[in-house]
Amino acid sequence: MRYFIFCKGDILLTSGGIVPFGDSAPVELKPWEKVTTLKLPQKDGVGKEPEEIVVAAMDNPVTDRDDLQLVPLRKTFRILSSEDYQLAGKCAELVYFHQNNRFCGVCGGQMKWQTEISKQCQECGKELWPSLATAIIVRIRRGNEILLVHARTFRDRHYGLVAGFVETGETLEECVRREVWEETRLHITNIRYFASQPWPYPSGLMIGFTADYLSGEIQLQKSELSEGGWFTRDNLPILPDSSSIAYRLIQDWLNS
Q: What is the pLDDT of residue 114?
A: 96
Distance CA 211, CA 231 (A): 15
pLDDT above 70 coverage of the chain, percent: 98
Whether residue 168 is predicted with pLDDT greater than 70 in this model: the reply is: yes
> Residue 163 pairs with which residues in a beta bridge?
137
Neighbours of 86 (CB within 10 A): 15
Does the pLDDT value for residue 207 go beyond 70? yes
239 vs 147: CA distance, rounded Å: 12
Which strand (E) or helix (H) includes residue 97?
A: helix 82-99
Its pTM stands at 0.91
How do the domains of the chain map onto residue ranges? 2-100, 102-131, 133-255
Residues forming a β-bridge with 149: 160, 228
Burial 60-75 (b: 16+ CB within 10 A, else e): eebeeeeebbbeebbe
pLDDT of residue 43: 73
The Cα–Cα gap between 195 and 208 comes to 5
- 87 pLDDT band (50/70/90 cuts)? very high
Q: Which helix (H) or strand (E) holds 96?
A: helix 82-99
Position 45 pLDDT exceeds 80: no
Separation CA 41–CA 51 (nearest Å)? 6
Q: Is the pLDDT of residue 92 over 70?
A: yes
Cis check: omega of the bond before 202, within 30 degrees of 0: yes
Architecture per CATH, domain 2-100, reads as Alpha-Beta Complex (3.90)
SS3 56: strand
Cα torsion angle, 22, 77, 196, 224, sign: positive
Residue 41, pLDDT score? 87
The tens digit of pLDDT for each residue in 20-33 reads 999 999 999 999 99
Does the structural domain 133-255 have CATH classification 3.90.79.10?
Answer: yes
Position 46 confidence tier, pLDDT thresholds 50, 70, 90: low
Q: Give the model's pLDDT for residue 47.
A: 59
Does residue 48 register a pLDDT over 80?
no
